[in-house]
Chain A
Amino acid sequence: MYVGNPPRELMIFTGTAVFDWKSKAKLDRNEVVVNLGATSTEAFQSTSTCSLASFSNTDSEMIFAVDASWVVRRADDAGLELHANIAVQGNDSVLNRISYHVQVLTDPVIAKISGTIRWNKSLGDPTEAAKGGANMFRVAAGNLVSVPASGGGFGSTKWVEAASTFTTAAPVQSGDFWAVAYVLENVPLSQQFNVVPALLDGVLTSVIVPYATFMPAPRYVELTPNDPTATGVDFEMIAGQGVR
């Protein structure tokens, strides 16, 4: 869930860890690791508590303990783990379960795709409004999705967007090129999307004939919890060829 403003993600994990740790008469210690099945950014805070949940003893002096618990973020895949130190003594004593409650407060993953769109000035200069930061391009992340045929007709495809934005920065001229930056935010993670720019009407001093297109295309990007931002996803606008 998201709490606070600006929102942070609060994840709660509860459960019962099941294992079999038997004392050999001495106070025998071990460490229980629970894979919590979630990931986090490096900047996270956590609390955890563990309690005894199931044990047995055969007519002997005994100790059962959960001495400490803490949360670890794995370096290789950002996965979260609960660690707990347990101890058992008896002849014999067996600890079978502990219950746990973990709270992790983590920064939201602001998924971003960013880059620049450039074009040769032979295609046209930005209008004065565009030079002042007016929207010039719309950028979207989405996919073409097949739509099954219905009623005996042909199937088709439909563009389904996951995120979109408009450029708001003032374009910069460098040599024969103009360039403007874009930032596409809140792109869903762990899904591959095609990033597609589009030129808005009336933002250049001339009309691109026959139409504007962008290279490279398609431009697929997939963000993940470990790598939630993609920079340098750049495009060059060119004049298309033939009939659109």
Chain B
Amino acid sequence: MSFVISQTGRTFFRGIIAPPKFLMFDAYYCCLMAGLDARKIGSTEDLDSDPFLNGYPDDFKGQADIIAGLLIDAELDRKDIQAEDRASIEREMTRLIDPTSATRLNNDGDKLLNLYAAAGLALIQDKIMPPSTIEEFLVAYHRFWHVDAEPTEA
């Protein structure tokens, strides 16, 4: 698995990427979560960059099953596969899952992660200014998820 985050993504998060406090993967992951939640994938052209990491960092290893589940969930929804369509659901799972991979996903699944992350980045950039501190980003990212409720804004 090779994670790719676009040039604009790298520039956007540049002010706060400071391992181990905030990893490049943290940036990628925040974008991925946003993309999966929106059921949107970016295009391959958005991945105009070199992979920055192979495999999950230690802090994320325990989340592999969950992230793979979220991908399948997003794919079912994006393709509008009905909850009762057992055959299609099973086919989706056979299409994406590789038990031997660290991400539990095969190449196709891994590529999809990158595409969801690319779409997520675009959504984040729409709503958030490039952050200069982690605390600022944590607040902004929370607001991004609760854009309707606005519970944190006074």
User: Are both chains from one complex?
Assistant: no
Name A residues whose Cβ lies closer than 8 Å to a Cβ of B.
Answer: none
